Amino acid sequence: MNQNQGYRPVLRNLNFLKLWFAQILSLMGLQSLLLLSVILIEDVTKSGIQTAGAIVAFSLPAVIFGPIAGVFLDRVSKKTILVVSSAARVASQAVLALLAYLGINRGIDPLLFVGLVYVTIFITSAIGQFFSPAEGATIPLLVKREELFAANSLFTLTIVAIQVVALIVYVPISVKSFGIFGAFVSLVVFYLLATLLLLFLPKDQAAHRVALDGESAVRRGWREIGEGWRFSLDHKVVLTAILQFSLVFTIVSVLGELAPGYANRVLGLATEDAVFVFAPAGIGIVLASLFVVRFGQNLPRYVLPIVGMFTIALGLLGLGLLGMHGERALNTQFQILGITLNATFLVGIAAPLLGVGIALVLIPAQTAIQEGATDVIRGRVLTVQLTLANALSIPLLIAVGGLSDVFGISEIIIALGAMVIPLTLFNWVYARRLPPQSATTPLHSQPIPLAGETTSMVEDTNERAHVGEKLNA
């Protein structure tokens, strides 16, 4: 296949389209869930502290259940996990819709109400810890290796687009049109449609793993979790990609927390206009994704993430400089180092730069992780990726709110940009020493026996050596 065909090969792949459309529907539900829950809790309790609890309930399951999910993912059919977890989210969203009805119309006790909402959000997020890595592990089974850049680029674009559509368009319109209860009911419909699409995916074969004699299920589970971490730590290309992903995930999470205050205190806008300020970052992601899918295969793998990290640093520093001289409206002019700048122009440059950097890091990193792990352990490696990213971001998310009140939002953003620069230099020196990933190495090659296994335990994986091609047949 010509590597410069862009998205056309994957868009002709019917099985990939089923997964992609299911991702769109699931993301609409996921991105709308947290904002609708915050609106619901605010309407019932009028408490900012209790709305913050929803964010914690949403984030914690990634750390708690992520490693466990990886073990299931490598033992059970990916399709089974996708269908069951999507159906489970239909049920959890139905519970949230019922709670919304009771909270708004029946005057349920506020403490009981908030507790039930927290528990339901926690359960919904926990289910997602099984769905998301299963989705990522399914992509290499549905597309050819040379199409992974295009497939991951399309999934990254979809995530950004759905975030904008859900937060800016869908949630406000659905709440105004149908009320908070009707908005939650619509999420049930999204997950139901996603489940139906996933039912029509081809059946994949789970990796067969033989239990050691006398070994308990609990000990075996912990051993397999450890295998995922050891594999990630021992394979430097995979580890580097996981760390790159975690860095960008953390930066995006922190910016999401600071965005309302940045819009209000730095730019002088209404708090709810924060999304419009950062929406230009989506333009940068689109442009960079188009570049990566066209030309990324022709560049050394370490180049794009390093350029992306440096671009992220420039974008952060540009956004941070806006607030160094007090509150600035978007149409004002001010001087930095003797240069007169327009605030609107600076935001219009810095935000897209940020988006370009995010795409240049995330797409190659996700592709490297998928290519570097064979079928028998890919699920656990993907959950290591998500677990580490959330574990690194949660403490910073907890601390950054107080730090921004003490030092200022712009100062925190500048500190983030300054932190990324030495990390970029270190990554450049380190990544150049890594062995290049061959674009012809089979994705489904026979795995090296893991701890406690013999070669006979993994011989069955030879039968799946070309499972991606079989699923497309």
- For residue 389, what are its two tokens? 């990213």
Averaged pLDDT for residues 163-191: 84
Higher-pLDDT residue of 219, 295: 295
Averaged pLDDT for residues 96-120: 86
Give 68's Cβ-side CA count (13 Å radius).
11
Per DSSP, helices labelled H in 106-142 are 110-142
pLDDT for residue 443: 46
pLDDT exceeds cutoff 80 at 323 = no
Which domains occur in the chain, in start order?
Answer: 1-208 (1.20.1250.20), 231-435 (1.20.1250.20)
Averaged pLDDT for residues 59-64: 82
Q: Which of 33-42, 192-201, 315-324, 436-445 is predicted with the least confidence, judged by mean pLDDT?
A: 436-445
Higher-pLDDT residue of 338, 431: 431
Buried b (16+ CB within 10 A) or exposed e, 150-185: bbbbbbbbebbebbbbbbeebbeebbeeeebbebbb
Q: By three-state DSSP, how is residue 340 classified?
A: strand
Higher-pLDDT residue of 184, 470: 184
Largest CA distance in the chain: 74
Return mean pLDDT, the chain: 78
Higher-pLDDT residue of 460, 4: 4
pLDDT exceeds cutoff 80 at 420 = yes
Per DSSP, helices labelled H in 262-374 are 274-278, 280-295, 303-321, 343-372
- DSSP class per residue in 196-239: HHHHTSPPPPPPP-PPPTT--HHHHHHHHHHHHHHHHHH-HHHH
Give pLDDT tens digits for 362-375. 888 888 887 887 77
pLDDT exceeds cutoff 50 at 442 = no
Q: In terms of Cα–Cα distance, which of 296, 280, 27, 314 is closest to 147?
A: 296
What percent of the chain shows pLDDT beyond 70? 78
pLDDT exceeds cutoff 50 at 252 = yes
pLDDT for residue 310: 94
